[in-house]
Every structure is written in C-alpha cells, then in structure tokens.
Amino acid sequence: MKSSTMRFVFFLVIGIFVIFAVHGFYNYNYFSRQNFNDSIKEISSNESLNEEINDSVEYYPLDRALPQLPTTELCIKDICFEVELPMSMEEKATGLMFRESLNEDNGMLYLFDQPMEIGIWAKNCLFPIDAIWINSDKRIVHIETMPPCNEENCPIYKNQEPAQYVLEINGGLASKYNFSIGDEVIFNISNAE
C-alpha cells in the first residue's frame, strides 16, 4: 500500500476508532497485529472487510471498567468538570463502559489528531451519557444524549461539523446547564494530573 494511502488510513481510522472504541466496537473495528498504529481499519455498516487485513486482526477483551485515569479540568459556561483522559488504545476502547456511575462534575475527554466526523455508541454503558463534539477551536459543534445499550448492534451517533474532541458527561447535564452549539470549551491537556 502506498505511503500516502497508509497515512490517510491511519489518521482517518484513528479518529473513528477512538470513539467507536469508547463504547465497544466488536462489530465495527479491527486491529492489525503486524503494525498496530498504521493498520487500524474501520468496518463499514455493510460489514464488508478490507481483505488486506482480514488475517491480521485482534480484539481487546473489553469486559471491565477502567481504573481512574489522568485528569484535567474542562469548563463550559463557568461549569467545570474533572475529565479523565484515555491515552492508550485500550483505555480509549473501554472508555466509560461497565462503570456503574459517574459523578456530576466528572467526565471523559477523547482527543483526536485532526478534525473529522466521529461516530460513537453507548454499547456496554450502564447509564445515559451526553456526548459533546468539540472542534479544533474548542467550540461545541454537536450534542447527543445516548441511552445505555446492551444490544449487539447499538445506534451510532455522529457529528455534522468536523470535531477534534469528544466530551462525555452524565446524560442530561448538557440540557441542565443549557450547553449549546458554539459554546466555548476551556481545557489544557498539558495540565493533566
């Protein structure tokens, strides 16, 4: 495969993978054993796999909640959250899955290398989640409330405008605090503890 094609696939799929992985991806994403960072591919909704990676895939065993991850403060409209920052692929793949609850002032922030369309789902989540897509200018571009999903095929939620970050907080908080498209989001990744 050409170098430019590999780079395109890498950047496109990393973004898609992280969000799919947040809530499970057993039927949507596969990982390459040969070159993990360069070979992540997305499976389209018609379930046709790219034959080049069919023999080199593996799954993470996503069967338990993550321990507490490094955090940073994130604020929207003077409402601040302590947000966890999943960094490894396994952390991003697990996200908020299997957690029994989330404090009202806590959340999880997923980072992407560049703005893109990001699809996520609430597979194996035990409580409703508000997903907030944030662009590279750190402004909200899309908000969805996702109910828990324990089915094999869960709904996928996507942003309409390109996003570079996705914030997940307890379901209903975006409405409670009247968060809306265009609101500024303030956070500093370098301050993670």
Say if residue 52 is in the same domain as residue 84: no
Region 136-162: what's the mean pLDDT? 94
Say if residue 46 is in the same domain as residue 94: no
CB 116 within 8 A of CB 162: yes
Please say if the pLDDT value at position 57 is more than 50.
no
Q: Is residue 126, in this structure, part of any structural domain at all?
A: yes
Of 4-13, 71-80, 86-95, 117-126, give the lowest mean pLDDT range.
4-13
The CATH number that applies at residue 148 is: 2.60.120.1140
**Is the pTM for the entire model greater than 0.85?**
no
95: containing domain: 71-191
CB 34 within 8 A of CB 66: no
CB 185 within 8 A of CB 134: yes
